[in-house]
A and B are shown apart, each in its own frame.
Chain A
């Protein structure tokens, strides 16, 4: 066949928030009038002060929480969610942890094993398949957690400050790994973080939120091409953009 379906347009919207508000039963307004779209091929990072509702944004996107006003829609069911903690099951080996999600979807054993093997290779944990979580370092636990989400082959990948608890070296290393996965797998990413330089380094777009109630106060396109050279972190352009984002963050906070 010479006629095939047209390739998926790069502007394909995977996540669409329109005028989303979140008021908790105790009256706290966590989000106020948030408009946000994430398209295929985009890696969007949200930075903001603690308690500004960043995580709530992800929880609504994943369906864990229901917004109280506005519309929040996703066009895919293949959604990966990486938690703040690795949330591994301590009684399962790396392989069995990575297999978990496929197991919950009743995927046949052989397919499950193959998927887990591929994902473990992708995150560089080959050789640690039979290790238990207590035998892994913090970075390796996070890699396992990433691998587990990768088995879903997600089109939309949600990250809730996944590297916040790691040391600087491991964190930078995992940032590079994540970018490599992004380039390779072409998912749409929505990433929450406290770190401005992490945000700029990882994303194609940075969104700045202000504190209670959380609203989007600014937005920056990141012009650096993918795949990214780790050394761009030391360029003047990078520093300038980090400065701008930090400035916006401070203004939104005061």
Chain B
């Protein structure tokens, strides 16, 4: 081979590469669906048994309705439209709060990643935010900022913020020293290192934070509702109203809808992550 201008990789190297590619492909196959479906059918069965018990034995069927009664609420001429409207309102609060948390969280973490002293000065407050019982603050937020949309969004943002700050910061600091030095040797600026190295390297963990925050934002929207009854009420208000009227099917329908919203956001952000970085990052 000596003297030849164009070299080539060895057969061993090529085999190894082929195997790696195959392993990557296998890793991408989707989880099979039938197992969770079996569990789901089982859970619905148990729900029917409990409903039967409350109906026939305790004679209090409003406490635990039959699953089909719950589903029927979606088409109920009075309850159905209310449910859809409240779902829309809650989604709007959750998404607005989440968007604010993303912006604040990423900017906050990016600033902290710039210098150790900034991190040392500001990270404790991210932890404090995580530690204080936000539920305790909610009434105060109401008296300060009113009982409407803005306060709901504020509660949501506060609840969703921490995982975004901590995961983004962790991600930005994850680019290793040799990689940073590779850029430094070419005289790359701080901004170039941030945009071409640190930020892309941080994306996998930003998405982890995003998925957690998305779930929390739905919780935030519901919690806000429990305290703020004015403005455009959401699913939290609907749950309270249905409970107070002993409307069993309505209560369950509203709770399930809120849960499904949480699951949906989680799935959407998971898919988004796969779409954005799945090509090079294995989840």
Contact = CB atoms under 8 A, between A and B. Distances in A.
A135 B20 contact: yes
B24 A122 contact: no
A229 interface: yes
Interface string A130-142: 0111111111100
A131 B17 contact: yes
B9 A143 contact: yes
Interface stretch (B68-76, B177-185, B207-215): B177-185
A128 B17 contact: yes
Nearest to B186: A104
Interface in A171-192: 173, 176-177, 179-180, 184
Interface residues of A, number: 47
B178 A91 contact: no
A170 B192 contact: no
A63 to B, nearest CB: 7
B9 A101 contact: no
A169 interface: yes
Interface stretch (A10-18, A81-89, A199-207): A81-89
Contacts of A228: 2
A134 B22 CA distance: 11
Interface in B216-248: none
Given A89-B200, A104-B188, A140-B9, A135 B178 contact: no
B178 A84 contact: yes
Nearest to B183: A104
B15 to A, nearest CB: 8
Nearest to A93: B280
A132 B279 contact: yes
B181 A126 contact: no
A32 B78 CA distance: 87
Nearest to A77: B187
Nearest to A173: B10
B8 A124 contact: yes
B185 A64 contact: yes
A226 to B, nearest CB: 10
B281 A229 contact: no
Interface in A90-105: 90-91, 100-101, 103-105
A131 B16 CA distance: 13
A227 interface: yes
A180 B6 CA distance: 10
B265 to A, nearest CB: 25
Contacts of B184: 64
Nearest to B20: A135
B12 interface: yes
A81 B203 CA distance: 27
A121 interface: yes
A122 to B, nearest CB: 7
A140 B183 contact: no
Given A91-B200, A134-B24, A170-B13, A123 B282 contact: no
9 contacts: A85-B176, A105-B186, A122-B7, A132-B280, A135-B20, A137-B17, A169-B12, A170-B10, A184-B5
Interface of A: 62-64, 79, 81, 83-85, 87, 89-91, 100-101, 103-105, 121-126, 128, 131-140, 143, 169-170, 173, 176-177, 179-180, 184, 227-230
Given A62-B185, A90-B280, A124-B8, 6 more contacts: A91-B279, A104-B188, A124-B9, A131-B21, A135-B20, A137-B14
Ranked nearest first, the 7 interchain pairs of A and B with the lowest CB-CB distance are A124-B7, A137-B16, A104-B186, A124-B8, A91-B280, A139-B13, A83-B178
